[in-house]
Amino acid sequence: MKKLWEKGVSTNREIEDFTIGSDRELDLSLARYDILGTLAHATMLESIGILSDIEKEDLKKELLSLYKTVEEGLFTIEPGVEDVHSQVEKILTEKLGDAGKKVHTGRSRNDQVSVDLHLYIRDEIRKTVMHAGDLFNALMMLSKEHQGALMPGYTHYQVAMPASFGLWFASFAEDITDDMILLQGAFKVANQNPLGAAAGFGTSISLNRKLTSDLLGFESLRYNVMHAMMSRGRLEKITAQSLSSLAGTLARLAMDITMYMGQNYDFISFPEEYTTGSSIMPHKKNPDVFELIRAKCNRIKSLVTEVDLVTTNLPSGYHRDFQVLKENLMRAFSELQTCLFMAEKVLMQINIRKDILDDPVYKHISSVDKVNQLVMSGIPFREAYQEVARQIRNNDFTPEEKIEHTHEGSLGNLCLEEIRKKMDKRLEEFRFEAIDMAYKKLLQ
């Protein structure tokens, strides 16, 4: 099949295979977005007189049929077809003749793939946010359920002060509320329409770019056409940064769980069917799920550096370098969403020991509480500190049996309702419903 850019000279087969790379496989994930973008573009072309109303309606009918094949998992890119853009245009031209040939008017594959990626990233962020919300809800439920279960807090891997599982679970839940801020940033960057920038320099045809933005549910335009094209790479990097933040939260949670399951800690356990065994040691119950979550999330964190290195010092305009960013970005979304799902699923089966602080190793864990008792009786803090240090040194320290921490966010006052309100507010700010309404109207 002729390439969209072919001018009568056939490309060397090895050159063709190398430059296409894995695009044909990866582009299957972009197919629905290419069809949505083409639907919006065709509607706009009719509004400025490039397409007749009949041509627009014929195109819409075929595009809606194509969209259905994508939703059913039946869409394919034929052998010899370079990418999803070529496949869609090929089908439209075969079915509709001149109308199919006209649909690329005012577009370049540059802004076509860019709008596909903007739409794809916008939707994948939404899926990621939903999975993160499920994990947040699980952590909040576990925090409430286990708010009275005491555990040791550590600094420098040394026993520090009393904590609780309620405090521990809620700390990760509130971490996720911060991750939502970064995902919001990436979402807002993706929620700007680059369509109509063509190759990055606009076109002499008077396109109605505001119309395509509205049809695709974008919050705004990328107005400057060179800026729109230069969003390639930058969009992927900002997205990678937001995924890295959430992956970091999840990796740290996985690390804690893996450590706390070990016999040297023995704080928590899971039903045997949620662990794995050893081929030689019959007693083993390994935390493979959380070890894999830790590894996959740490790999996701490396994506920021990868994108940064690929795009470093590229001059203005489009470059084929951007092609290599798609594969690992798509994998990162898929893996992070799976890790979030698995973490939530397995965490709901956690078993927690209730007598952890009875171990003599935690004898001095209430030392700060003892200092504070002396402070409240009128002794200056530094003198109280020295007195308790003397008791510990002389081995006549008596542990505090009752732990009372009542200020906001402490183990006796977790502020779970306030944390939930914070999360709800940040979820509302995504305004996903505006996209739903635009898609529903476009696909009618």
For 201-262, the DSSP string reads: T--SS---HHHHHHHTT-SEE--SHHHHHHHHHHHHHHHHHHHHHHHHHHHHHHHHHHHHHS
Domain spans, the chain:
13-102, 109-196+224-358+408-435, 367-402
How does pLDDT run along the chain (444 residues), one tens digit per residue?
A: 555 545 555 665 665 666 556 666 788 999 999 999 999 999 999 999 999 999 999 999 999 999 999 999 999 999 888 899 999 999 999 999 999 999 999 999 999 999 999 999 999 999 999 999 999 999 999 999 999 999 999 999 999 999 999 999 999 999 999 999 999 999 999 999 999 999 999 999 999 999 999 999 999 999 999 999 999 999 999 999 999 999 999 999 999 999 999 999 999 999 999 988 888 988 989 999 999 999 999 999 999 999 999 999 889 888 888 888 999 999 999 999 999 999 999 999 999 999 999 999 999 999 999 999 999 999 999 999 999 999 999 999 999 888 899 999 999 999 999 999 999 999 999 999 999 999 999 998
Which one-letter amino acid corresponds to residue 92? L
Say which CATH topology domain 13-102 has. Answer: Fumarase C; Chain B, domain 1 (1.10.275)
Q: pLDDT at position 401, please?
A: 83
Among 3.10.20.310, 1.10.10.10, 3.40.50.300, 1.20.200.10, name the CATH number for the domain at 109-196+224-358+408-435. Answer: 1.20.200.10
Residue 318 makes CB contacts below 8 A (sequence gap 6+) with: 110, 199, 200, 229, 232
Inter-CA distances, 432 with 129, 179, 330, Å: 11, 17, 21
Read off the tokens for 282: 């019959």
Q: How far apart are CA 408 and CA 11, in angstroms?
A: 68
Strands (DSSP E) along 296-361, which ranges?
A: 351-352
* Of 98, 125, 323, 410, the residue nearest 243 (C-alpha): 125
Q: How far apart are CA 363 and CA 153, in angstroms?
A: 13
Q: pLDDT at position 5, please?
A: 46
Nearest 5°: phi and psi at 286? -85, 145
Q: How far apart are CA 234 and CA 307, in angstroms?
A: 9
Measured at the alpha carbon of residue 442, what is the angle toward residues 437 and 444, in degrees to the nearest 5? 95
Helix, strand, or coil here: 271?
A: coil
